Amino acid sequence: MLARQPHPRVSIVAPFYNESDAIRHFFAKVTTVLDELGCTDYEIVCVNDGSKDDTLTQLVETSRRDPHVVVVDLSRNFGKEAALTAGIDEATGDVIIPIDSDLQDPPELIGVMLEQWRAGFDVVLAKRADRSSDGYLKRRTAELFYRVHNRLSDTPIPENVGDYRLMDRMVVDALKLLPERRRFMKGLFAWVGFRSTTIEYVRDRRVAGNTKFSGLKLINFAIEGITSFSTAPLRLTTYAGIVVSLLAFIYAAAVVIRTLVHGIDWPGYSSLIAVVLFLGGVQLISVGIVGEYIGRIYMESKGRPVYLVQRRYGKRRDAEETR
């Protein structure tokens, strides 16, 4: 693998949604790490995803003090995947590093990532070797999601690897070619491929504030991920229909045989109701799965943009806009 330049332009991409309590900690930590690494040519792209608190105000004030900070203010809350897409689209660096603003993913890994990039890797993944900072239920559901997704999908995603990673400009340019609007970024990162390596770390607790992902949002996120990269659920409904039909045929044959032998119908109102309810449940699940895919087709067919930018802030962006 060819070695890269020693001092690339680095773009840090961080989505923000109601993170006013964490902003001060975030910039203090990230800028300290970059300064210690000797990075002089860098930018911190902050995407305000329709925050309701004073997140935008703090970000704008920071951008006025620090010329390295760029703020992209979206017109409303589009969700983390859209905000991450906006930040990646805005980034101008040779390497792009998405990171959460809550500092659960330690910025100290940036130096290790750059070393691996200089060695020739296009993507450097950060894998969570220890997730004890997350709750028990979140850890177990995450394990289940990775297991189910990778079993069903033709594009497996690395287990316990989030958005925190380093990507070469070539990888980001490839991501920009992908046209879908309902974006599951972990899957898109995996789909583009390129030469990658993995480093492990222990995930910390949030420096401030609370997580914005509720249990229901995590479930919807998992469904989004599975349906974005696999049609296996549709095939499973077909298999379920075949199995249920076979069981119904066996049940009907048993009724006929018993009637011929004993001369009476097979009693069992409760069992009949159970079978009817079971079949109804299978049908509703099947309709729901088909509806999920039809919904995705419907949203993609509209052709709406992934996000809308209300305004950009930052000395570098202001200079570019006045040219």
Same domain (yes/no): 124, 20: yes
At 96, the amino acid letter reads: I
Residue 192: inside a domain? yes
Residue 2: inside a domain? no
Residue 29: inside a domain? yes
Give first-to-last CA distance, the chain, whole Å: 39
pLDDT in single tens digits along all 323 residues of the chain: 555 677 788 899 999 888 888 888 888 888 888 888 888 888 889 999 888 888 888 898 888 888 888 999 998 888 888 888 889 888 888 899 998 888 888 888 888 888 888 888 888 988 887 666 566 666 666 667 667 766 767 777 777 777 888 989 888 998 888 887 777 777 788 888 888 888 888 877 755 555 555 555 556 656 665 666 666 676 677 777 777 767 777 776 776 677 667 666 556 655 666 667 677 777 777 777 777 777 777 777 777 788 888 888 886 555 444 44
Return the pLDDT at 98: 92
Distance, in Å, from the CA atom of 74 to the CA atom of 50, rounded to the nearest integer, reads 6
Distance, in Å, from the CA atom of 221 to the CA atom of 200, rounded to the nearest integer, reads 24
Distance, in Å, from the CA atom of 223 to the CA atom of 227, rounded to the nearest integer, reads 6
Same domain (yes/no): 185, 125: yes
Which residue matches tokens 């159970």? 274
Show the tokens assigned to 251: 């049940």
Distance, in Å, from the CA atom of 309 to the CA atom of 74, rounded to the nearest integer, reads 4
Residue 264: inside a domain? yes
Same domain (yes/no): 144, 132: yes
Return the pLDDT at 277: 67
Query: Taking each helix axis from N to C terminus, what angle separates 110-118 and 23-36, rounded to the nearest 10 degrees?
Result: 40
Same domain (yes/no): 83, 138: yes
**Total Cβ atoms within 10 A of residue 119:** 13
Residue 313: inside a domain? yes
Same domain (yes/no): 61, 198: yes
CB 69 within 8 A of CB 80: no
Return the pLDDT at 319: 47
Distance, in Å, from the CA atom of 264 to the CA atom of 256, rounded to the nearest integer, reads 10
Q: Which domain holds residue 277?
A: 232-302
Same domain (yes/no): 89, 74: yes
Same domain (yes/no): 85, 122: yes
Residue 120: inside a domain? yes
Q: Which 8-state DSSP code applies to residue 176?
A: H
CB 198 within 8 A of CB 174: no
Show the tokens assigned to 266: 């097979």
Strand partners, 168: 95
Report in angstroms the alpha-carbon separations of 180 from 116, 140, 289, 297, 306.
Answer: 30, 30, 20, 10, 8
**Structural domains of the chain, count:** 2
Show the tokens assigned to 301: 């067919």
Same domain (yes/no): 124, 136: yes
Distance, in Å, from the CA atom of 172 to the CA atom of 213, rounded to the nearest integer, reads 26
Residue 1: inside a domain? no
Q: What is the CATH number of the domain that holds 151?
A: 3.90.550.10
Return the pLDDT at 210: 57
Strands (E), 131-267: 161-168, 196-202
Residue 222: inside a domain? no
Same domain (yes/no): 31, 127: yes
Distance, in Å, from the CA atom of 83 to the CA atom of 93, rounded to the nearest integer, reads 18
CB 121 within 8 A of CB 167: no
Which residue matches tokens 């330690």? 106
Return the pLDDT at 218: 58
Same domain (yes/no): 264, 141: no
* CA 37 to chain centroid: 29
Distance, in Å, from the CA atom of 87 to the CA atom of 14, rounded to the nearest integer, reads 7
Report CA Rg, the chain: 25
Same domain (yes/no): 148, 24: yes
Same domain (yes/no): 17, 151: yes
Q: Is the dihedral of CA 66, 67, 70, 71 positive or negative?
A: positive
